[in-house]
Amino acid sequence: MRADKLLIRNASQVVTCSGFAAKKGKAMSDIGIINDGAVATLNGLITHVGTTKDVLSCINEEEYTVIDATGKALLPGFVDSHTHFVFGGYREEEFSWRLRGDSYMSIMERGGGIVNTMKATRESSYDDLWERGYGHLVKMMEMGVTTVEGKSGYGLDLETELMQLRVMKDIDEKHPVDIVSTFLGAHAIPPEYKGRADEYINYVIETVLPAVAKEKLAGFCDVFCEKDVFSVKQSERLLRVAQELGMKLKLHADEIVTFGGAELAVELNAISADHLLQVSDEGIRQLADSNTVATLLPLTAFSLRESYARGRKMIDAGCAVALATDLNPGSCFSCSIPLLIALACIYMELTPEEAVTALTINGAAAVGRTDTIGSIDVGKKADMILLRYPSYKFLPYHIGMNIVEATIKNGKTYHS
Ligand code: NIG
Ligand code: FE
């Protein structure tokens, strides 16, 4: 028996989600089920996938640490491709104002919202941000997440944006979950630039972005492209510079009003357009014709009491849809994968198969990593989850309950 050799055998289902690219439209239903399946791993990578009988005929079981998965389903680890998990302070007061009827944008106009968290983040120490960020990852991993995207955007100045990104880099080195970092310097206009959005964008382009690129702190650049935040033109200006610096692009698009964010994401060949609650029919058509993943965040719509993004329509139109939590202290203080799946299936009308694809291979596509994660394929990282139940169909059915018994990260098992 060797610690670096793991065999999971007799799984009632191995759901492979096999593939090396985003799945679009109908293809999102192909999740590749192997009944009575097994997976073998070596040094953190998948070496064999098949029926238990077939895998056992290829290996010497005695060399492996063995997990008997009778009555349990095995899936790829979840990829949470949109979060803001490093931040200072909380905004519980704002949440109770929203329950009373105040809108997210009206709170933002009064100086609350993102700028509120910016103040708390600027006042936080590196160690505070680190400890709280690490704590979120621990919870996420218990719910089966093996890769997380995390954004800056609560510093809105050089020093604090860099601090947020350095914290993520450091946590990535210490916690088993992989972190993909995104620079979101254009998340809001900080008070010192109030009414001067263009000048703030200049500052980000000239001062912050080059420092982020120089230290190689983020592979992605994102903008909150929204009415009364950053216009399509301002977003485009910043994103094109980021692209020239070798960064891949993401966009907070069409969240509060129909704004042309999806169309901009497609034009710039962004890797994903996110939120999309108010995307136009034309925006959906363009997304379907593009390589841009439509990342939907139903926990945010739920928390803001907004109508859900039109997930069913997007998949029927041929889009590649991913699902993510959007964990942040304002619009969505939750990283609950179980609730996310339930909302996606019940209110956005995704099938259980589509929800699984959206959280695995399509999540991997939304962070540009389909070559190494997102499916149970030979050669990929051994990032998997074992459910307490025999079928992936229990994920939406057992509403809001964490049914992940163990998360396997790089071939190592962590029990929930
Ligand atoms: O994705 N909409 C913009 N950004 C975040 C919310 C950030 C916050 O409220 O702190 C989002 O919902
Ligand atoms: Fe977000």
Residue by residue, pLDDT tens for the chain (416 residues) are: 676 999 999 999 999 999 999 999 999 999 999 999 999 999 999 999 999 999 999 999 999 999 999 999 999 999 999 999 999 999 999 999 999 999 999 999 988 999 999 999 999 999 999 999 999 999 999 999 999 999 999 999 999 999 999 999 999 999 999 999 999 999 999 999 999 999 999 999 999 999 999 999 999 999 999 999 999 999 999 999 999 999 999 999 999 999 999 999 999 999 999 999 999 999 999 999 999 999 999 999 999 999 999 999 999 999 999 999 999 999 999 999 999 999 999 999 999 999 999 999 999 999 999 999 999 999 999 999 999 999 999 999 999 999 999 999 999 999 98
3-state per-residue secondary structure call for the chain: CEEEEEEEEEEEEEECCCCCCCCCHHHHHCCCEEEEEEEEEECCEEEEEEEHHHHHHHCCHHHEEEEECCCCEEEECEEECCCCCCCCCCCHHHHHHHHHCCCHHHHHHCCCCHHHHHHHHHHCCHHHHHHHHHHHHHHHHHCCEEEEEEECCCCCCHHHHHHHHHHHHHHHHHCCCEEEEEEEEECCCCHHHCCCHHHHHHHHHHHHHHHHHHCCCCCEEEEEECCCCECHHHHHHHHHHHHHCCCEEEEEECCCCCCCHHHHHHHCCCCEEEECCCCCHHHHHHHHCCCCEEEECHHHHHHHCCCCCCHHHHHHHCCCEEECCCCCCCCCCCCCHHHHHHHHHHCCCCCHHHHHHHHCHHHHHHCCCCCCCCCCCCCCECCEEEECCCCCCHHHHCCCCCCEEEEEECCEEEEC
| Ligand 1 lined by 160 (C-beta under 6 Å) | no
| Ligand 1 lined by 117 (C-beta under 6 Å) | yes
Residue nearest to atom 5 of ligand 1 (CA): 331
- What atom in ligand 1 is closest to the CA of residue 331? 9
In the chain, CATH 3.20.20.140 sits at: 79-365
In the chain, CATH 2.30.40.10 sits at: 2-76+375-415
- Centre of ligand 1 to C-alpha 113, Å, is 8
- Centre of ligand 1 to C-alpha 331, Å, is 5
pTM of the model: 0.98
Does domain 79-365 sit in CATH 3.20.20.140? yes
- What atom in ligand 1 is closest to the CA of residue 108? 9
Query: What's the CATH number of domain 2-76+375-415, 3.40.1670.10, 1.10.10.10, 2.30.40.10, 3.40.50.1980?
Result: 2.30.40.10
Pocket test for ligand 1, best of 106, 227, 252, 259 (most atoms within 8 A of CB): 252
| Ligand 1 lined by 94 (C-beta under 6 Å) | no
Q: Which ligand is nearest the CA of 328, by number?
A: 1
